[in-house]
Amino acid sequence: MQDYNYIWANCFEITLELSCCKYPPASQLRQEWENNRESLITLIEKVHIGIKGFVTDSVTGAELENATISVAGINHNITTGRFGDFHRLLVPGTYNLTVVSPGYMPLTINDIIVKEGPATEVDFALRPTAVVSLIPDTTETIATASSVALLNVPRGTSSSHEPIQPKDFHHHHFPDMEIFLRRFANEYPNITRLYSLGKSVESRELYVMEISDNPGVHEPGNWYGEPEFKYIGNMHGNEVVGRELLLNLIEYLCKNFGTDPEVTDLVRSTRIHLMPSMNPDGYEKSQEGDSGSGIGRNNSNNFDLNRNFPDQFVQITDPTQPETIAVMSWMKSYPFVLSANLHGGCE
């Protein structure tokens, strides 16, 4: 799934192993939250690094979807979204970006400086080739970048504010998880949207909780724009820590929005999608205390969902599972920039 994100979905996904035990006793869940809380938040914040902006038609101002953005020296392109918006994750450095779109002159902008912190903003206005042909001696398409720093709520300032920690530390079987998700969607309607990607083999909903200041809306682009982030937990049904941590994270983000500056800034500036369980059927078969039996790892048709995505090198002959199809179509529907897939027990 990680490779599929990178190759086909403009999304940089990492696979994380959260815990040594796949299914620890409930008494250890609070400690797992403590161990992982800061990292879970920090990774979401990383969706803001790099270069972002819009690609438009220089004559009409129209937004150009599916334009290709390449970074000199890096063999990995991304494409613009529906609103001509793009977000290219990059570590600090100096970069040359080229944008190519059919019917337009390619445009290169050199020496774009990426610093620590929020993304550098660069817009590309491409000249239609039809217009270019009418204007003789058009040679210069190279511009120089100017960067605009994002407004950023300062962090770690001297306030003695302590965020509210989750209270609900136990294992959530499907009916319990469903109640939890519906409860938070009901209690925090201004920043949440509960939706489903479809159903598992055994007809359990594949729930996703969106958390954002404008749930349901992709807000593209520059300083007001929101890059999209996702976490997927419990793809291996017997690796349950990610599932519980994502429920903790939902509680944490909801309860601290509006009072904790870090959470408020993150939810205002990011569209966060949290999928606590990609394999709810496997979870119901798995056993508390399991640290390696493998029961519940696969979906109900006994396929490992992490080996079920199309691969760029190897032909995958197994039938594509409903859970996999749901996640693939999810990736087509949202312009995710950064993602993590939460596993446990080192598998």
Q: List residues near Zn ion by CB under 5 A.
A: 236, 239, 343, 347
Decide: 327 and 1 in contact? Cβ < 8 Å: yes
Residue 273 vs 343, nearer CB to Zn ion: 343
- Give min distance, CB of 347 to Zn ion, in A: 5
Which two three-digit tokens encode residue 236? 């291996």
Q: Could you say which DSSP state residue 306 is in?
A: G
Q: For residues 194 and 215, what is the distance between their CA atoms, to the nearest angstrom?
A: 9
Residue 243 vs 343, nearer CB to Zn ion: 343
Q: For residues 253 and 263, what is the distance between their CA atoms, to the nearest angstrom?
A: 6
Which two three-digit tokens encode residue 245? 């941590």
- Give min distance, CB of 243 to Zn ion, in A: 12
Residue 84 vs 233, nearer CB to Zn ion: 233
Q: For residues 133 and 290, what is the distance between their CA atoms, to the nearest angstrom?
A: 68
Residue with smallest beta-carbon separation from Zn ion:
343
- Give min distance, CB of 324 to Zn ion, in A: 15
Residue 211 vs 240, nearer CB to Zn ion: 240
- Give min distance, CB of 304 to Zn ion, in A: 9
- Give min distance, CB of 238 to Zn ion, in A: 8
Decide: 233 and 278 in contact? Cβ < 8 Å: yes
Residue 242 vs 322, nearer CB to Zn ion: 242
Q: Following DSSP, what letter does each residue of 97-119 receive, concatenated? A: EEEE-TTB--EEEEEEEE-SSSP
Which are the contacts of 189, defined by CB distance < 8 A and separation ≥ 6? Answer: none
Residue type, 29: L
Other beta carbons within 10 Å of 20: 11
Strand partners, 113: 94
Helix (H) or strand (E) holding 339: strand 336-343
Residue 15 vs 28, nearer CB to Zn ion: 15
Q: For residues 211 and 56, what is the distance between their CA atoms, to the nearest angstrom?
A: 29
Residue 47 vs 342, nearer CB to Zn ion: 342
Q: For residues 222 and 220, what is the distance between their CA atoms, to the nearest angstrom?
A: 7
